[in-house]
Structure 1
Amino acid sequence: MIKLRNHLKNQTSPYLLQHARHPIEWYPWCEEAFERAKKEDKPIFLSIGYSTCHWCHVMAHENFEDEEVAKELNQNYISIKVDREERPDIDSIYMTACVMFTGSGGWPASLFLTPDQKPFYAGTYFPKESAYGQIGFLDLLRALSKRWSQDRQNLIESAEELSGQLNKEQKTEKSKLSWQHLSLQAVRRFKVSFDEVNGGFGDAPKFPMAHNLMFLMEYYRVNRDRRALEMAEKTLVQMYRGGLFDHIGGGFSRYSTDPYFLVPHFEKMLYDNALLLMAYTQAYSITGKEIYREVVRKTAQYIQREMTDPYGGFYSAQDADSQGEEGKYYVFACEELTSLLGASAGRKFNEYFNITKEGNFEGNSIPNRLKDTGTEEMLQICGMEDEYSHTEPERLLPKVYAYRKQRYQLFLDDKILTSWNGLMIGAFARMYRIFGQDGYLSQAKAACEFLEKQRKEADSLFVSCRRGHCQGKGFLEDYAFYGFGLIELYGASLEPKYLEMAEGYCQKAWELFADQEKGGYFLYGTENESLIASQKETYDGAVPSGNSVMAYNLVKLWQITGKEGWREQAVRQLNFLSFFAEKYPEGQSFSLLAALLYQNPPEHIVGVLKEEKDLKRLQKMYGKEADLVALWEESEEYERINNRATLYICREGSCRPPVNL
């Protein structure tokens, strides 16, 4: 049995446990590590990553498993490992520092700190040996150790200067432009960067950025800008047709390494799939095209089959690598499938999914449908009775899936993050509203029950949970994303408890994280550890920022409840975010989505009901688009007319006379 040599053996994070057997004396982020650094007068090496990160694996294999590197680190540094998914606060601060040093960021993040946590050098991946103009990790360790001994004052001055920049608060004022104009500016910029041929925006790598597509579709709904919808549709179809979508098992990979959405970075993240489920659901709601329902069905099936805990929570991610090779789990050789399926069926399957002898990825093939008809023709075909889903290759998918499942192992990060679970709860709730499948609502409720049970045991909203052990007090994203999921769950179920919970968590977020003087919300709050900087994240990157999701939540709470307090908070938050939207509107798509919703609210319908069948009928007739409130008791404001279920419908600032359901 291999002896565990460092301080990570009792951690629950799969990422930290991957490093527990390294010869490096790793610490988790803890006071003990910093105290030892001060006592021994050593700098700190901070390594930040996550369990399914390909380049994190590469750096670990080349450096952290190496005895020579370990000797250098153990002698001259105190080494700390951080899982970015469990500590987004640490990741945010030091990734900002990394960008300041290098002009770009990414994982693994590699930083060198003073014992009081201030960074004096940063980078991302380093090979062990120097080559082709890039310094190797071993040479870097020796050079920085020498500077720490001989030129420490300059390093400390550099660290102090950068820490000051991290703490320098950007002055924010309300934008001089209206949200309508900011939305128009964003759409114009998306039009300029749109890839007419392949879909998506800009050059490779191409990230799904589903919230950008959600904004464009909402912009179309409000303003009838056909081009906005066309860009969203083209991108959604191309992402599905390419290798970014897993045609064998369902679900989407993290991003495409090429302009075509063919070759993905193969890791699958829960947050991407949650946001994409919402985007494809929205596309179906607008267009009624069956291709979008099919993508939702296959992706939801993947989440239910491979990413759901037996008690209801959703796992975080699946790795890109198998047996040390990226994508090995997902690719096929031509003859492999003819051997499995038989010559005739295998040939048809290979043709259908473009699996060739030449291959499209390191001699093998990523299944894809990019050779199919053009986007418009494919949309027309898939707008029928979805004929393609009944073809022989589609019927053979379960057999190929079962074969692939037993062929190689794929690492699963089985920790359950509150924030990402909130997004997936919201996705399943929305799917129920549009598609009406009870299983989707049950899935959302089960995940909510799981989070609530763990929250009560932990006595706080937590960051992550794995095998019954909860880690960390929640950050802004946990409150914002879970609040979002609860609002969507209320809209799907009309059960008052979910609305009450959403209001409670959003109020708690105000108390813990809000800058009540200058506006916006800090990433970490009064219950979290204090770090060298306190930041407000506003940019909508791979996931929307906590600030933009809070804006959306506050708008929805006001529109559903009619409470003036929520409207005031919503306006305050939108005013705060407008400054950033003016500077970079296409980077604020979720904030823009919240503003569109504020300015163009859906119908608001209060139903005073009598029987359970009234609720079902109300949801069926109005549940896809309107904000619904179900009441079972009459009041002075809301009475039953003719002793029957009665609807009070308000639209565009005016209310109609009550009508019977």
Structure 2
Amino acid sequence: MTTRHRNALGEATSPYLRQHADNPVHWQQWGTDALEWARERDVPVLLSIGYAACHWCHVMAHESFEDEATAAVMNEHFVCIKVDREERPDLDAIYMNATVAMTGQGGWPMTCFLTADGEPFYCGTYFPPSPRGGMPSFTQLLEAIDDTWRTRRDDVLQASASITTELRRAGGALPAGAAPLDGPLLDAAVAAVRADEDVERGGFGGAPKFPPSALLEGMLRSHERTGSAMVLDSVTRTAEAMARGGLFDQLGGGFARYSVDADWVVPHFEKMLYDNAQLLRVYAHLARRTGSDLAFRVTEATAEFMLRDLRTDTGCFASALDADTEGIEGLTYAWTPEQLIEVLGFEDGVWAAGLLAVSSAGTFEAGTSVLQFPSDPDDWTRWESVRRSLFDARSNRPQPARDDKVVTAWNGLAITALAEAGAGLGRPEWIGAAERCARSLLDEHLVDGRLRRASLGSVVGDASAVLDDHAALATGLLTLQQVTGDAEWLARAQQILDLALDHFADENEPGSWFDTADDAETLIARPRDPVDGATPSGTSSMAEALLLASVLSSADTAGRYGAAASATIDRGTLLLQRVPRSAGHWLAVAEAAVRGPIQVAVATDGASELLDAARRHAPGGVVVVGGPPDSIPLLADRPLVGGRSAAYVCRGVVCDRPVTDIDALVEALAR
């Protein structure tokens, strides 16, 4: 039952909802009882969707939701429901589509007005406390909505029915076979992306600039297939620009959400797990393939940030650090020359100011600067001493709040990145951290045989896992199976994949997937969005997981996964053809599929330099396993050769002769 006539968010498992538990608004959590209360009262639902690290969500909360007079209007005329978009991506997807359809743009906080059936009739984003820039005040909007509801009900119901019909119509499947999956398709997609490159500053398109994480991984794989120096140049330009700008935390590691300017100087300061997990994967891959010192440093600093600042007591990873500190953006991170001198002394302070692009004019607000790293120092020992001193001093400043919510999908991305990077760069402690996270997720988020979306402090939430939760977790488990050789990870990945195949696959459109399960809560539309965004779409993530499972599994199950992977990728070709910048993860998966995918199985009776070399030199998307002959499916009937470790390299179902020395293996992988 809803706790009506008072704020009901105190027991939520979402830190974002708990941030609003002291509001005078009678916030309810989403559920049938809250909607029924709206029907009983004959009032609309005011649905507010946001997330804990969202700056403008905090602004609107301070201006309106904490205001007694505004809250009184909300409570009198509406049933007010708060939703964490990260905990309920299904609701977020539906009402974001409605907001974009009505206004031409979306964002958070999202403000939607619904009927008691959940059908939207008016949507927007942030509304100010007083009229501003052509926008009405939030109170004016509330009063107008209430008046329209009471006096023009037929118009409201007609609008909501029309919008709902359109939302249902828009959720169709991608067509199959829109374009053949081959090298020319992928080359054309990469060429189209490169046409949007900001060659001078790095990145693609203009400000604001978001890190194109999955796209960079896909382009790296394209370079490895084609050998194109131009494609590699595009990747390294963007990777270096992001790493040297203010987007990257030069003291503590980790990347902010995006840059507000085209030069990557001033970030929007929130740090998201999903960005850092994906970027860890990219920079580790770039470091392996190019030997770039910068890529190595960024990889290590990003992994350290995740393990130090985002790891929870359970071994999983928290969702984000807030954009604001005590309500002020950048309070923790910005510096003046005087502050540098105060911490470091005059000589080191002046030296650091020059190195980090800190000036009296400032690059941020009120004469402060965001630290950058335009060029390498002339003295690395001095820099490391300076960095430690500044980081220690910054640690004594007020710190941004952390959203401790553990999201299954984002932790799946972290498992994959840490395991891949640990294996490729020889950091077993990263692999260990990935294993601990995976065990914790399986112990806590699998409830009665079904996966849940999120937990907080080891208390799992009620929200069911969506498609990307299953796909990202399965990919992480399959990555662990490769780097550890432990067959248990394969079995657990198959368990998750089988759940996805049974509950998310579109039975009428093979290769198409819904984002919610067939037995999940019935909403006004069943969301389905295959386009990659800040995170890979659930559908492209499923393509990756299924492709891996088809290679790693035994013959009796591999066929099912392989057929589903092929059908899924077949539908993704349309996105690669038409919107390649929004299909970065599709590109990465398609590149792996076009090459076979390549499989390297190293038969060994112990520690093997050959296996280590395979992991260092393998292109992205290559499946690499090692262990005793016949210990796992890929090592079946693959013995040692002359008593020595032997690497079996295959592309699809075509295999080379086994090799026993590193040079021959590297040559085989380069073909």
Q: Which TM-score band (shorter chain)?
A: over 0.9
Equivalents in 2 of 1:569, 1:167: separation in Å? 25
- Give runs of aligned pairs for residues 62-77 of structure 1, distance below 5 A: 62-77=63-78
**Equivalent position of 1:43 in the other structure:** 44
Equivalents in 2 of 1:458, 1:108: separation in Å? 34
Secondary structure, aligned partner of 1:274: helix
Is 1:205 paired with 2:208? yes
**Equivalent position of 1:619 in the other structure:** 611
1:513 CA drift (Å) = 0.5
- Give runs of aligned pairs for residues 58-207 of structure 1, distance below 5 A: 58-168=59-169, 169-170=171-172, 172-179=174-181, 180-207=183-210
- Give runs of aligned pairs for residues 187-266 of structure 1, distance below 5 A: 187-266=190-269
Contact residue 205 and residue 258 of structure 1 kept, 8 A: yes
Cα distance change of structure 1 residues 323 and 115 upon mapping to structure 2, 3 Å threshold: same
Contact residue 5 and residue 20 of structure 1 kept, 8 A: no
Equivalents in 1 of 2:47, 2:275: separation in Å? 27
**Equivalent position of 1:312 in the other structure:** 315
Is 1:480 paired with 2:471? yes
Is 1:570 paired with 2:528? no
1:651 CA drift (Å) = 4.3
- Give runs of aligned pairs for residues 311-460 of structure 1, distance below 5 A: 311-369=314-372, 371-372=374-375, 390-456=380-446, 459-460=449-450
Secondary structure, aligned partner of 1:407: coil
Contact residue 560 and residue 628 of structure 1 kept, 8 A: no
Equivalents in 2 of 1:247, 1:642: separation in Å? 50
Residues 486-541 of structure 1 show CA distances to partners (whole Å, capped at 9, x for unaligned) of 12222221221112222221121111111021131111103421111012111111
Contact residue 480 and residue 506 of structure 1 kept, 8 A: yes
Residues 365-402 of structure 1 show CA distances to partners (whole Å, capped at 9, x for unaligned) of 33433643xxxxx7xxxxxxxx7672413322122112
Equivalents in 2 of 1:369, 1:539: separation in Å? 33
**Equivalent position of 1:494 in the other structure:** 485
1:162 CA drift (Å) = 0.5
Residues 431-457 of structure 1 show CA distances to partners (whole Å, capped at 9, x for unaligned) of 112211111111111111111221356
1:223 CA drift (Å) = 1.4
Which residue type is aligned with residue 427 of structure 1?
A: A
Cα distance change of structure 1 residues 389 and 166 upon mapping to structure 2, 3 Å threshold: farther
Bigger mean CA deviation after superposition, 531-540 or 177-186: 177-186
Secondary structure, aligned partner of 2:460: strand
Is 1:32 paired with 2:33? yes
**Equivalent position of 2:586 in the other structure:** 591
Which residue type is aligned with residue 543 of structure 2?
A: A
Secondary structure, aligned partner of 1:172: coil
Equivalents in 1 of 2:35, 2:411: separation in Å? 33
Is 1:463 paired with 2:465? no
Contact residue 245 and residue 253 of structure 1 kept, 8 A: yes
**Equivalent position of 1:384 in the other structure:** none
Bigger mean CA deviation after superposition, 487-496 or 122-131: 487-496
Secondary structure, aligned partner of 2:46: strand
1:642 CA drift (Å) = 5.0
Contact residue 486 and residue 498 of structure 1 kept, 8 A: yes
Cα distance change of structure 1 residues 370 and 111 upon mapping to structure 2, 3 Å threshold: same
Cα distance change of structure 1 residues 641 and 229 upon mapping to structure 2, 3 Å threshold: closer
Equivalents in 1 of 2:155, 2:364: separation in Å? 47
Cα distance change of structure 1 residues 598 and 33 upon mapping to structure 2, 3 Å threshold: same
Bigger mean CA deviation after superposition, 219-228 or 637-646: 637-646
Equivalents in 1 of 2:534, 2:659: separation in Å? 45
Contact residue 243 and residue 366 of structure 1 kept, 8 A: no
Secondary structure, aligned partner of 1:410: coil
1:641 CA drift (Å) = 5.0
Which residue type is aligned with residue 249 of structure 1?
A: G
Equivalents in 1 of 2:449, 2:379: separation in Å? 47
Equivalents in 2 of 1:482, 1:540: separation in Å? 17
Secondary structure, aligned partner of 2:164: helix
Which residue type is aligned with residue 124 of structure 2?
A: G
1:577 CA drift (Å) = 1.9
Q: 2:502 aligns with which of 511, 518, 522?
A: 511
Equivalents in 2 of 1:627, 1:370: separation in Å? 36
Cα distance change of structure 1 residues 233 and 409 upon mapping to structure 2, 3 Å threshold: same
**Equivalent position of 2:667 in the other structure:** none
Secondary structure, aligned partner of 2:396: helix
Q: 2:533 aligns with which of 541, 555, 563?
A: 541
* TM score, norm. by length of structure 2: 0.92
Equivalents in 1 of 2:280, 2:18: separation in Å? 31
Secondary structure, aligned partner of 1:193: coil
Equivalents in 2 of 1:293, 1:77: separation in Å? 54
Equivalents in 1 of 2:431, 2:173: separation in Å? 43
**Equivalent position of 1:655 in the other structure:** 655
Contact residue 314 and residue 421 of structure 1 kept, 8 A: yes
Contact residue 175 and residue 582 of structure 1 kept, 8 A: no
Note the aligned Cα RMSD (angstroms): 2.0
Cα distance change of structure 1 residues 507 and 366 upon mapping to structure 2, 3 Å threshold: farther
1:290 CA drift (Å) = 1.0
Bigger mean CA deviation after superposition, 235-244 or 326-335: 326-335
**Equivalent position of 2:523 in the other structure:** 531
Secondary structure, aligned partner of 1:271: helix
Cα distance change of structure 1 residues 184 and 32 upon mapping to structure 2, 3 Å threshold: same
Contact residue 245 and residue 374 of structure 2 kept, 8 A: no
* TM score, norm. by length of structure 1: 0.93
1:18 CA drift (Å) = 0.6
Equivalents in 1 of 2:641, 2:188: separation in Å? 47
Secondary structure, aligned partner of 1:48: strand
Cα distance change of structure 1 residues 255 and 78 upon mapping to structure 2, 3 Å threshold: same
Contact residue 523 and residue 534 of structure 1 kept, 8 A: yes
Residues 243-289 of structure 1 show CA distances to partners (whole Å, capped at 9, x for unaligned) of 00011111000000000000010000000000111111111122111
Which residue type is aligned with residue 504 of structure 2?
A: F
Contact residue 189 and residue 577 of structure 2 kept, 8 A: no
Contact residue 474 and residue 493 of structure 2 kept, 8 A: yes
1:408 CA drift (Å) = 1.1
Secondary structure, aligned partner of 1:509: helix
Bigger mean CA deviation after superposition, 588-597 or 88-97: 588-597
Cα distance change of structure 1 residues 638 and 532 upon mapping to structure 2, 3 Å threshold: same
Secondary structure, aligned partner of 2:121: strand
Contact residue 248 and residue 400 of structure 1 kept, 8 A: yes
Residues paired across the two proteins, number: 642
Which residue type is aligned with residue 211 of structure 2?
A: P
* Structure 1 residue ranges, 4+ long, deviating more than 6 angstroms after superposition: none
Equivalents in 1 of 2:526, 2:368: separation in Å? 46
Secondary structure, aligned partner of 1:240: helix
Equivalents in 1 of 2:602, 2:357: separation in Å? 52
Is 1:273 paired with 2:310? no
Equivalents in 2 of 1:229, 1:646: separation in Å? 31
Contact residue 128 and residue 138 of structure 2 kept, 8 A: yes
Contact residue 16 and residue 82 of structure 1 kept, 8 A: yes
Contact residue 409 and residue 473 of structure 2 kept, 8 A: yes
